[in-house]
Amino acid sequence: MFADNPPTRQNSLGARWNPPGVPAIYCSLERETAIAEGDFAVAVQSLRPTAKRTVYKLYVRLNKVLDLSQPAVLREVGVREKDLSDADHETCRRIGGAVEWLEHDGLLVPSARRVGAINLVIFPRKQTAGADLEVLGSELLI
């Protein structure tokens, strides 16, 4: 996370796996992947952000997660390798929007920044009883 934003901050503006208006929280399953995702976000800015960055360790319990992390499964739903890193997020956004509409509270997807790594997209509006997100620790990146 950048600046003093909490790890539970929802992105409602849209990103790779959530269309605008569909709130999502983006996480990575590994620390190194979270850092790689943040490094990419910094690298694509025309002016390098100076805000501090914090990596959080979270405990997450969701009830209905769809796993699209395997290439064969992605191909079945119409996501090509190019869609994972392309600046045009339309295909992935359509998939993420449909997953949220189908009442899933999470989506596992491959990271475009680290080969073999997996990200978790949380759809907070679809969380039901028993779902949980707890901060276990944090690390300030220099």
Per-residue pLDDT of 117-130, as tens digits, reads 999 999 999 999 98
Please name which of 27, 24, 28 lies closest in space to residue 10, comparing C-alpha atoms: 24
Mean per-residue pLDDT, 11-40: 95
Per-residue pLDDT of 31-68, as tens digits, reads 999 999 988 887 777 777 777 899 999 999 999 999 99
Q: What are the φ and ψ backbone dihedral angles of 101, each rounded to 5 degrees? A: -60, -35
* CA angle, residues 134, 117, 22, in degrees to nearest 5: 55
